[in-house]
Amino acid sequence: MAVLARIRTTSRELSLFAAASLAIGIATSAFDSTFNNFLNESFTLTGFQRSFLEFPRELPGFLVVFVSAVLWFLTTRRLGVVAMVLGAAGAFLIGFASSSYAIMVIWLFIYSMGQHLFMPLASVIGMELATDGKTGQRLGQLNGIRNLAVIIGSVTVVLGFRHLGFTFQHTFILTTLALAVAAILLFSMTPETTPRPRQYLQLHREYRLYYLLAILAGSRKQLFVTFAPWVLVTIFGQPTQILATLLTVGGIIGILFQPILGWSIDRFGERLVLMAEAFILIFICLGYGFARDLLPEDTALLVISVCYVADQMIFSVGMARSTYMKKIARQPDHVQPALTASVTIDHIFSISAALVGGLIWNAFGFQYVFLLGMAIALVNLVVARHVRVPREETAAQAG
């Protein structure tokens, strides 16, 4: 009853954005749980070819600050609509117009541009819809909704492939429809009355620690996005259903974990949460890289699966970087440009990490990719120790 009462008292804008977040999560889950197997079965890529594919996939992340600057005249929510339309078009074309690998790369670029345009917007809109002192909690709640969406999308994929005769085209249709629904919901939101900032191409010295965190986040991200599922698919030979099942498990855990993580950011501060993420990632990299060498095959697969789910959970610590930026911003209109710039910075290093990781994989083996990940995690741990927020914010958290 309390949940129903809270839903009834939720503002129209928050309800629409929550529903859009649900639709986006379903689309992303359906796409991510099948894309690696789609590549493997359609184009038979080597490890290096798979890692090289991250260049066109991640290039929109580098370009997002320039695209946002060109589209400065659109409000945040209307830019979100553009992002969803691009994502829907790209997903549909991947499924039905990929006559060759080169053509598929073009459609992937379009899909990825939509996804990356929305990345900073998700945090900006979420923080706009939060009450004072509960920004992390609001972002955690929205991430919890996205985790529910992961369950819906992943379960649909698992049941579809096992019992309903799904092909990859069915999942791309699901992705397209879900993103189209999200576009309609975002368009239904009332546009902000304040103009969006124009200073997207300006970096501020005062935010250099935030930019450094973005560099490390981008470098570590590829371990989860590219190489972790590639280990499951190629080293352990797991089918589409396994990745979808792991996403489902992560989604179920995340429904509770994400709000708790958001509350922890508000209660304990970004510094402690970011340090905990780096510490946990060290052990996740150990599992990814060496479980197969140290343990029996079945046990190693279980360890890798646990690492995959845990990695999926701590990936959401990115919201701590967003709330940190909001707290240290000298002016409110610095927040969105800084978040957008961080996506570009993130992707400069994520593209580099993907290419370097592919070379390391081919030359030395997948284990050494995750040794690199451990090194990144150690640096992240040191950098996170220097995170500080204004004194009044800390006092508010303690109260």
pLDDT for the residue numbered 336: 80
pLDDT for the residue numbered 203: 76
Classify residue 386 as exposed, middle or buried by CB count within 10 Å of its CB (0-12, 13-18, 19+).
Answer: exposed
Angle at 284 between CA 314 and CA 388, to 5 degrees: 45
pLDDT for the residue numbered 377: 92
Report the predicted TM-score, pTM, of the whole model to 2 decimal places.
0.75
Q: Are the CB atoms for 221 and 354 separated by under 8 Å?
A: no
CATH number of 10-189+206-398: 1.20.1250.20
pLDDT for the residue numbered 197: 54
> Could you state, in order of their start, the residue ranges of all structural domains in the chain?
10-189+206-398
User: How far apart are the two ends of the chain, measured CA to CA in Å?
Assistant: 29
Q: Are the CB atoms for 224 and 311 separated by under 8 Å?
A: yes
- Measured distance CA(117)–CA(81) in Å, rounded: 10
Signed CA dihedral, 113, 115, 116, 118: sign only: positive
- Measured distance CA(357)–CA(222) in Å, rounded: 9
Q: What is the 3-state secondary structure (H, E, C) of 281-336?
A: HHHHHHHHHHHHHHCCHHHHHHHHHHHHHHHHHHHHHHHHHHHHHHHHCCCHHHHH
Q: Mean pLDDT by 10-residue block, N- to C-terminus, for the chain (399 residues)?
A: 50 91 92 83 72 77 84 85 96 89 90 92 85 80 85 85 85 94 94 60 81 88 77 78 78 85 90 93 90 86 90 86 88 81 83 82 86 91 88 45
